[in-house]
Amino acid sequence: TEQRVAELSQATESLFSELKFAAFGAVHSQKMHTQVNSFITDFEQQPDMMVGVINILETVKGTAASELSKQAVKRAVVAMALKSRSMKAMISKDRGRGSEAVQPLMMGGMLSQIGKAKMNLPEGGNLTPEQRAYVRKFPLLSYLMVAHEATVPFEVKRLILNQKRTLPENTASNNYPEFRWMTATLQNLVQDNDKRGKKEVAGDILRQLAGLKEFVVYEEDVNILSLATDFAALTTESDWRPAKDPIMAIKHILNSSIFQYGPKVIRDFLDHISMSLSHNQKIIKNDD
């Protein structure tokens, strides 16, 4: 409903405003956790959950929120819906876990770009290679903003750090940040935090490094979060370009998908959610 989206948008806007001047803490985490769980429960109790139109684009458009907040809410809701519908429709390793499987994805969606609140982001669409490399560090910065907080589950932190690592490193992909740079940076941060007595942060980073080495061929939740992020960005107006119509946004995602996502998430997106985001129209028509 518009009211639920407005509540989530307001909470997100408040969080992002506070993070410009303060560190992410337990109070922020608990507030977001409560909002997210309530939202998931409401969604999954709807009788038309599998077929209903997800009016997130229109409801977010009507809120007086910043671009970052609008994207965060869209990203979280699209990721939640895609995970929930694909779990219900298919034999999935997560089937039967319900909101327990969806919750990390939605939390990851809300927090995945909080690093941008601390960045001096360049304006416009034509970035220099240096500017592009700087912007592409946001997953690591976002992770570091929550790495110290024990109330944020490890899986949520893992999703934030790996949100743009959708394909194995030995394949042609658009993964970022650059793997060797990120692992070297994380190893240095382990030593720095260890010296400063921040054992819990050092321990979490070590677990993340171990997880990077265990990357499987297809990480479903990372792919879902990445696709939801791209859809949210394309359909949100920015200072330098208008919002794309959802049908054009989905076609753009399809056209770049070979280097962006594993094929399963694209199939799930087209089968279970794309029509409800695009005026109830099919994206791929006969003869396309």
pLDDT of 166: 92
pLDDT of 248: 93
**Contact (Cβ atoms closer than 8 angstroms) between residue 71 and residue 235:** no
Closest CA to 215 of 171, 259, 264, 166: 166
pLDDT of 233: 93
Query: For each successive 10 residues of the chain (288 residues), what is the average pLDDT?
Result: 82 87 90 86 75 69 79 91 81 61 92 89 84 92 94 94 90 89 95 94 94 76 95 89 92 92 92 85 80
pLDDT of 44: 78
pLDDT of 109: 93
Q: Is the dihedral of CA 65, 69, 71, 75 positive or negative?
A: negative
* Phi and psi angles of residue 136, each rounded to the nearest 5 degrees, phi first: -75, 0
The structure's pTM equals: 0.90
Question: b/e for 231-265, b at 16 or more Cβ within 10 A?
Answer: bbbbbbeeeeeebbebeebbbebbeebeebbbeeb
pLDDT of 154: 93
Cα 226–Cα 229–Cα 235 angle in degrees, nearest 5: 140
pLDDT of 95: 53
pLDDT of 191: 95
